[in-house]
Amino acid sequence: MNNHYSHILRVKNIGIDTYRENIIYMRADCHICQSEGFTALTRIVVHFKEKSVIATLNVVHSELLSHDQAGLSMEAMKRLGVEEGDYLSFSHLKHLHSLGYVRAKMFHKELSEQDFNEIIADIVAGRYSNIELAAFISACSGSSLSLKEITGLTKAMIATGQKIEWNHEMILDKHCVGGLPGNRTTPIVVSIVAAAGLIIPKTSSRAITSPAGTADTMETMAPVNLGLDEIKQVVEKENGCIVWGGAVKLSPADDILISVEKSLDVDSEGQMVASVLSKKIAAGSTHVIIDIPVGETAKVRSQEEALKLQYYFKAVGEAIGLHVEIIITDGKQPVGKGIGPSLEAMDVLAVLQNVPGCPKDLKERAVQLAGALLELSGKYPKGSGNKEALSILETGKAWEKFQAICQKQGGFKKPQYANYKHDVLSEKEGIVRAIDNRKLARVAKLAGAPKSPSAGILFLAPLGKKVTKGQVLYVIYAEAEGELEYAIDFMKSNNNIISIE
């Protein structure tokens, strides 16, 4: 990165976890700060043997460190592979070239594929501070990226990750553009499609801004942090899997970006398309169905937005050699009853086990998506997919397949209810006319989902339902009392979550 090394300091393991960010701690009065003029927030290159990281300086004015010591955040220690007592050397950070492109994007210039390659390579190497990551995400948000740019970003993300090779010509996959609480079709779809003899190795993400991602939900029923070899074994045996994508570093850039997106609570168009499709290519998929739920309080709010996303998904898919089909679905209200990892898993199990009274909407959506995949494979004629999928589900073959997949992933377990709960009652008699999915999701998140897997909401008041005064509209579950209280606080100060007329 640069050739000027200054003197050295010894590592003290101070055990500070800053999540992804590389932080270096030095005494204000150590010889390096003094001679090099380093002050708080200076970006410094830290060298250990052949390795180096860029870290942000936090200056220490206490006896936490001695004059010849430096501390590193845990992430930085891991990246450098250092232990207490190792010797570090330091140099000034040379201008990070790719940040010029981030600034250009902030000023609304169009970036090339090469520009994105450079940015993404630096991000994956841990060279961006959180401030710089936030600027990049913000500059790419809204409709800031052109089709060409989204394609470039997607390719750049593919280039930095692993790609899984399969011994099959056709690899099926599905994805849902989130925003609809409880819409947990994946475990059902994978079970049906795999039971039909098609290959569907599903890698899912954890929640970005929602109360649960598919990986979070699946994790309440079986291990999902599988390595590449383990995934292959599951799929070779069972045709399908439902695992967390991050564990196999399919798109390491995306994992870093998502950590900052999460803290900003945004999930923008271009990055969404790049994130989804780069992971599909990395997973080795060839044919993908994407479900876009549309509703006023879903992630995608209008048919127009959905069609725009459809255009991007299909166009970028074509540019990177992926066959993409889009299904636009109704996103007016939560799907099933559960919102939050464990509670959603209970819905999934009810559908798979054909329990009487299982959530009909979840079942119908899963059958529609599975049917579309069966047809896309060419193995089932157009128009026959849904019927076939329903039959696989209702004959118990899907449930059998699901159990086999869980077993192979490390063993099935039953999702649990949380210890703390609170019933939210209707204040009047009437009919449920509108549901604010965003606020409902926020209540579930404040209650601890997805961090606390059994936290969330059991939702009992779908659109059109007649309710009486005092009837339970939904139950809030939490693992910690503080979180339950906090969700209740929010619920109480937002009385328009469910509109009853």
Q: What is the DSSP letter of 44?
A: E
How near is the Cβ of 55 to a copy of itself at its closest, in Å? 13
Sign of dihedral through CA atoms 48, 53, 59, 64?
Answer: negative
Query: Degrees (nearest 5) of the Cα angle 264, 478, 462?
Result: 85
Compose the 480-499 pattern: x for residues touching a copy of itself by CB under 8 A, - for all others. xxxx-xx--xx---------
Rule CB under 8 A: is residue 4 a binding residue for a copy of itself?
yes
Any idea which residues carry the catalytic annotation? Answer: 267
- Among 8, 10, 87, 141, interactor with a copy of itself by CB under 8 A: 141
Contact (CB, 8 A) for 444 and 456: yes
Q: Considering beta carbons, is residue 69 or 329 the nearer one to a copy of itself?
A: 69
Rule CB under 8 A: is residue 94 a binding residue for a copy of itself?
yes
Interface with a copy of itself (CB under 8 A), residue total: 74
Q: Are strands 466-467 and 172-176 parallel, antiparallel or unpaired?
A: unpaired
How near is the Cβ of 79 to a copy of itself at its closest, in Å? 16
Rule CB under 8 A: is residue 328 a binding residue for a copy of itself?
no
How near is the Cβ of 319 to a copy of itself at its closest, in Å? 25
Rule CB under 8 A: is residue 366 a binding residue for a copy of itself?
no
User: SS3 of 12, please?
Assistant: strand
How near is the Cβ of 253 to a copy of itself at its closest, in Å? 17
Compose the 32-61 pattern: x for residues touching a copy of itself by CB under 8 A, - for all others. ---xxx-xxx-x--------------xxxx
Tokens 């005494």 appear where? 27
Q: Considering beta carbons, is residue 87 or 490 the nearer one to a copy of itself?
A: 490
DSSP assignment string, 247-290: GGTS-HHHHHHHHHHHHHT---HHHHHHHHHHHHHHTT-SEEEE
- Among 413, 428, 451, 469, interactor with a copy of itself by CB under 8 A: 451
- H/E stretch holding 386 reads helix 385-394
Rule CB under 8 A: is residue 110 a binding residue for a copy of itself?
no
Rule CB under 8 A: is residue 86 a binding residue for a copy of itself?
no
How near is the Cβ of 217 to a copy of itself at its closest, in Å? 18
Compose the 262-301 pattern: x for residues touching a copy of itself by CB under 8 A, - for all others. -xxxx-x---------------------------------
Rule CB under 8 A: is residue 446 a binding residue for a copy of itself?
yes
Q: By CB under 8 A, which span of 29-37, 220-228, 355-363, 399-407 interacts with a copy of itself?
A: 29-37
Contact (CB, 8 A) for 102 and 153: no
Contact (CB, 8 A) for 256 and 123: yes
Q: By CB under 8 A, which span of 257-265, 328-336, 425-433, 468-476 interacts with a copy of itself?
A: 257-265
- Cα separation of 440 and 342, whole Å? 16
Q: Considering beta carbons, is residue 111 or 189 the nearer one to a copy of itself?
A: 111
The count of other CB atoms within 10 Å of the CB of residue 286 is 18
Q: Considering beta carbons, is residue 46 or 398 the nearer one to a copy of itself?
A: 46
Torsion of CA 485, 259, 135, 130, to 10 degrees: 90
**Across-strand partners of 172?**
287
Compose the 382-401 pattern: x for residues touching a copy of itself by CB under 8 A, - for all others. --------------------
The amino acid sitting at 124 is V
Q: By CB under 8 A, which span of 6-14, 240-248, 280-288, 355-363 interacts with a copy of itself?
A: 6-14
How near is the Cβ of 257 to a copy of itself at its closest, in Å? 12
Cβ-in-10-Å burial (0-12, 13-18, 19+) of 414 comes to exposed
Distant-in-sequence, close-in-space partners of 193: CB < 8 Å, separation ≥ 6: 172, 200, 239, 240, 370, 373, 374
| The pair of three-digit structure tokens given for residue 206, joined into one six-digit string | 């954890």
- Among 346, 442, 459, 500, interactor with a copy of itself by CB under 8 A: 442
Rule CB under 8 A: is residue 139 a binding residue for a copy of itself?
yes
Query: Degrees (nearest 5) of the Cα angle 93, 98, 99?
Result: 70
Q: By CB under 8 A, which span of 130-138, 215-223, 285-293, 372-380 interacts with a copy of itself?
A: 130-138
- Cα–chain center distance at 253: 12
The amino acid sitting at 42 is T
